Structure formats: C-alpha cells, structure tokens
Amino acid sequence: MKPERKLAIVTGASGGLGLEFARLLAKDGYDLVLVARSEAKLRDVAQSLSGQYNVEATPVALDLARPDSAGELARVVPRCDVLINNAGFAGHGRFDRIEESSVSEELELDVVTLTRLTRKYLPAMIERGSGRILNVASTAGFLPGPFMAVYYASKAYVISFSQAVAEELRGTGVTVTCFCPGAIATGFADRAQMHQTLLFRLGSANAPTMAEAGYRGMQRGTLVVVPWPPTNWFVELAARLTPRRVLLWFSRKAVEVEER
C-alpha cells in the first residue's frame, strides 16, 4: 500500500454487493484487502480492480465462518481505514430441519465475525481520529422471520449493535453505518434457494445501485441507510406499526416455500 492511500477491507468481496463496494472504493482511490472463501475469484477481482483503477488490491482467501477468523485476518492485515462487513449467508427452511452445523456457521459469520472484526479495527481508528465502518444488515432485521429465523434475528442484532456502537463513538471522528437493503439479485439468493419465494418474485434490486446507496451513506456517516425502492421504507414502517401476528404472517408468506 502506498503511504498516501487509505486502506479498505471488504469481506464477501468475490461477488455481489462486496464486489460493488470494492469497485466504489477503488474508484475513490482506496487500496483494498478483499476477503472471501474463493481464492480464484478473489485473484481475478483484485487483478481487475488494480488494473482499472491503479490501486493495490490484495486478495485474502479466508472462511470467515470459522472461529477466530477475525483474529487471523487482523494478524494478516493489522490496520485499516474503512471496514465493510459484508460477508454473510442465510439458512432457509424450518428451523428444526436445518443442520445444526449450518446454524452455527450462519451465526459465526453473520454475528460473531462481524462483531469481532469491528472490535479488532476500531481502537486504532479511534486513536487516529478517523475511520468508517459499514455493517451490512437487511430490511429483514426489522422483522421476525419464520423459515429464515436465524438470518432475520442475526440482522436485527447487526442493526442494534451498529447503532449502539455508533452512538458510543460520537465525537471520535469514527462512524458506524448500518446498511439495510431489501432483496438484491446476487449469489446470496442462489445460496439461500430463495428465487421461488414471494419476496424475490416481486422483484429484486441490482447490486451496483444498492452498493452505491450504502457506500455514500457510509461516507456521510449516516446511522442507518434504508435504500430505494419505497417498499424497503414500508417494511421498516410496518415493523413498527403492524400488529405482531399480522407481521409474522406477512413475513412468513414472503419467504415460505415448504409445507409444515
């Protein structure tokens, strides 16, 4: 990394939102550390961004669903100026029928690693008096989520955690932004096998547009970013105003694909 450049870490950077965040950062002149499981994809992304934007892009192949993966990353990359906690996945199905190992991996990746990475890099940001953290949640975090119970609960954690830490950091020069998009056409939906759900049949946003909204919100230091379209804002409002049983029915119908 060149001394005059700031360094950004992006998790889940091999595709989807992560790739788009990395592209926006590179365009703004940040050197990059790109983290995901797929080494081959990361190398291709790093090479492409380096060539197009004349920045240094370092691929780090790491399974962030493993315990202490945050510590391993912090040992390899001891500092950063921007941290984008984007990596995550969703289990889909009735909770008692999901493999316990999958539940553990989902919690480790969506909750524990995000929390630990924030804790690893935050002290140095505070000491420097500057830094940006973007935690990717979802409009799912505003709702209970039958058939995606762990994912919805995990994103509720991310929303609450991000806002609390952001308030603690008031006046330090460091900001935490929580990004809450709705359905997006990425590999996330493929892994969760959600394309046949009502949520995705009603339409999904494209990753570049959503990443732009989250990225600009982060750079402004916005506390919570709920992007266009207006249906996302409706979900946030409905979660506060709708009777709980009605909300549960709506949430279930959005993602249900199996019979009880």
Angle subtended by helix axes 16-27 and 39-53, to nearest 10: 30
Angle subtended by helix axes 207-220 and 16-27, to nearest 10: 50
pLDDT at 2 over 90: no
Asked if 188 contacts 92 with a C-beta cutoff of 8 angstroms, the reply is no
Q: What is the pLDDT of residues 71-115, one digit of tens each?
A: 999 999 999 999 999 999 999 999 999 999 999 999 999 999 999
pLDDT band at 230 (very low <50, low <70, confident <90, very high): confident
Asked if 87 contacts 12 with a C-beta cutoff of 8 angstroms, the reply is yes
Residue 156 CB: number of other CB atoms within 10 A? 19
Kindly state the average pLDDT of the residues 195-207: 56
pLDDT band at 199 (very low <50, low <70, confident <90, very high): very low
Kindly state the average pLDDT of the residues 154-172: 98
Q: What is the pLDDT of residues 18-63, one digit of tens each?
A: 999 999 999 999 999 999 999 999 999 999 999 999 999 999 999 9
Mean pLDDT of the chain: 91
Q: What is the pLDDT of residues 113-152, one digit of tens each?
A: 999 999 999 999 999 999 999 999 999 999 999 999 999 9
Predicted local confidence at residue 250, as pLDDT: 83
Q: In sequence order, which residues have a C-beta less than 8 Å from that of residue 209 and are 6 or more positions away?
A: 227, 228
Backbone torsions φ then ψ of 202, nearest 5 degrees: -75, -10
The fraction of the chain above a pLDDT of 90, given in percent, is: 77
Highest mean pLDDT among 33-47, 181-195, 196-210: 33-47
Q: What is the pLDDT of residues 101-110, one digit of tens each?
A: 999 999 999 9
Judge residue 233's burial from the number of C-beta atoms within 10 Å of its C-beta, 0-12 exposed, 13-18 middle, 19 or more buried: middle
Q: What does the H/E/C string look like for 79-98?
A: CCCEEEECCCCCCCCCHHHC
Q: Is the peptide bond before 229 cis (omega within 30 degrees of 0)?
A: yes
pLDDT at 258 over 90: no
Predicted local confidence at residue 128, as pLDDT: 97
Kindly state the average pLDDT of the residues 239-244: 90
DSSP string, 140-208: GGGS--TTSHHHHHHHHHHHHHHHHHHHHTTTTTEEEEEE----B-SHHHHHHT-TTSHHHHT--B-HH
Q: Which is the CATH superfamily of the domain at 7-255?
A: NAD(P)-binding Rossmann-like Domain (3.40.50.720)
Which positions are annotated as active-site residues?
151
